[in-house]
Amino acid sequence: MSVNRCYECSNVLCEDCYLKHDKLTNTEYHTFQATSDQMLLNNKFFVGSLDIIYIKSFPDGLLVFAMFRSDKLFTSSVSDHKKNKEIKVSGRPCSIAILDRYTVAVLLSDDTYCNFDSIEIVDIRQRQIIQQVGVNCLQRRFDCLDTSLFCSMFYIDEQLYTRCVSQITVIDMSGELDRKIDLEFTPTDMCYDTKAARIYCIDQSEERLICFGRDGNIMFTFTGPGLTHFKRLTIDSEGYVLILCHENSDYKNFKVHRISPDGKSDEVIVTGIHNYTYKYKHSSICFQEESDSMVIGFGARVYIYQKKSVNWT
């Protein structure tokens, strides 16, 4: 019985063939997934040469990337990744929020990733900065290069919600502080479900998903035996939370869990196996609704998964 599929070879492999596969020549960077997965890896490509720390998707399929140690944004497409473009910004992007069809808010830090410099509003279509917003109200981070501390940010109702250590800071588009939501933990990542008006956060220290409203009141928490080494999350088109988990610290094996909107069920929809060990410690995930695709970044590589339309045998 076939148990894994090799993306590069386009073959399904039995257990014996899978174990022998890495002994073949020129297979060092091959990627596998379980034949029982619900989503199929159908594209894989590089974006630049630096690690991806954030991915956001526009409704038309355009992807925007923030890269570690870069002063540029990179754009690509779910359908045509060869049309990559670069956009120069005024610092190190550490988070991105989609504002409308053509613009994003980019949170910028200094070279150490310790201090926030500003938020710049960028027109992706024109590839230019159209506004700069001061961020004096945002709290300084306490551990500069901890990879879990690249700040999450989202935009709703003319306000930006930014995760700063153990708070969510809400500012208007002029940079004025509206309020702060105090948390009893330091979120590793957060995202917002616009349809249900819910905020989801990862509490990595307790290995749990926490859901709460915009008022800060917790609605539910979710834990599960398979939710380990997880740092990134996103929302799919049906309001389910997708959590990217690593089975260990070398990022060689990973899974994507799909948590129901009520926090009562969990299923694994992707089981990925790299044929090599990543020396990078950055990953990211987003969902592209128009193409119903899940986009994952490891290092400088992008992996695009879509719902499986055929059964593997």
CATH for 297: 2.120.10.30
Q: Which helix (H) or strand (E) holds 67?
A: strand 62-67
Dihedral of CA 107/111/113/116: which sign?
Answer: negative
State the Cα–Cα distance between residues 1 and 35, nearest whole angstrom: 10
15 and 103 in a common domain: no
DSSP label at residue 74: E
87 and 21 in a common domain: no
96 and 15 in a common domain: no
Domain count, the chain: 2
Q: Tokens 């956001």: give the residue.
A: 56
Q: How do residues 103-156 score in pLDDT, each as one tens digit?
A: 999 999 888 777 888 999 999 999 999 999 988 877 655 444 444 446 899 999
173 and 31 in a common domain: no
Per mean pLDDT, which range of 67-76, 180-189, 271-280 is the poorest?
A: 271-280
49 and 6 in a common domain: no
**Between 81 and 259, the higher pLDDT residue:** 259
28 and 125 in a common domain: no
139 and 60 in a common domain: yes
Per mean pLDDT, which range of 65-74, 105-114, 132-141, 162-171 is the poorest?
A: 132-141
Residues 290/238, Cβ–Cβ less than 8 Å: no
Domain presence at residue 145: yes
234 and 181 in a common domain: yes
67 and 212 in a common domain: yes
Q: How confident is the prediction for the chain on average, in pLDDT?
A: 87
What's the pTM? 0.92
140 and 28 in a common domain: no
149 and 76 in a common domain: yes
31 and 127 in a common domain: no
Taking the alpha carbons at both ends of the chain, their separation in whole angstroms is 7
Query: Above 80 in pLDDT, residue 22?
Result: no
Domain presence at residue 312: no
- Per-residue pLDDT, 103: 97
Query: Above 90 in pLDDT, residue 97?
Result: yes
Q: Which helix (H) or strand (E) holds 16?
A: helix 15-21
Domain presence at residue 313: no
Helix (H, G, I), strand (E, B) or coil at 301: strand
Domain range for 9 is 1-35
